[in-house]
């Protein structure tokens, strides 16, 4: 997060913005893997009548990558989403350069759109996945 990778937020996050993503959502998963903090959130992507569509975010410290930790976090979101009242998960801006895109696609996310200049002129992909059992 501090280097600006993976999320469109500009570091450093203030307390309010950090809490909105990593403290206040209905589901927050935080774990320590080999001394590195990893985490995920699951929250409504939209308010009101569209609140059945979740948004999720994942953060895996560089030292913890490549060991299946990210996959575990993503699979937990898929499993947990229906219990929280969600029937789909939508990712709004997945940077084109994000290596996690391959994982998302293997786990059933479909590319449904693109933002040509999402952040700092880098294209971003919009992904969708149904999660009902």
Give per-10-residue mean pLDDT for the chain (133 aa): 55 71 72 77 92 91 83 94 96 90 96 93 96 83
Residue 6 falls in which region: left (phi positive, over 0), alpha (psi -120 to 50) or beta: left
pTM: 0.83
Is 10 a domain residue? no
Please provide the DSSP assignment of 25-52 as one string: SSEEEEEEETTEEEEEEEEESSSGGGTT
What is the H or E stretch that residue 53 is in? strand 53-60
CATH of the domain at 19: 3.40.630.30
Residue 71, domain extent: 15-130
Pure H helices in 81-131: 100-106
């Amino acid at each position: 997060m501090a280097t600006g990778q993976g999320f469109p937020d500009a570091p450093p996050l203030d307390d309010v913005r950090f809490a909105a993503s990593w403290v206040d959502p209905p589901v927050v998963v935080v774990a320590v893997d080999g001394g590195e903090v990893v985490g995920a959130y699951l929250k409504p992507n939209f308010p009101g009548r569209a609140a059945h569509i979740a948004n999720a975010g994942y953060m895996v410290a560089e030292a913890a990558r490549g060991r299946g930790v990210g996959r575990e976090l993503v699979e937990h979101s898929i499993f947990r989403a229906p219990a929280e009242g969600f029937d789909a998960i939508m990712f709004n801006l997945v940077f084109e350069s994000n290596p996690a895109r391959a994982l998302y696609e293997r786990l059933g996310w479909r590319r449904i759109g693109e933002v040509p200049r999402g952040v700092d002129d880098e294209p971003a992909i919009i992904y969708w996945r149904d999660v009902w059992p």
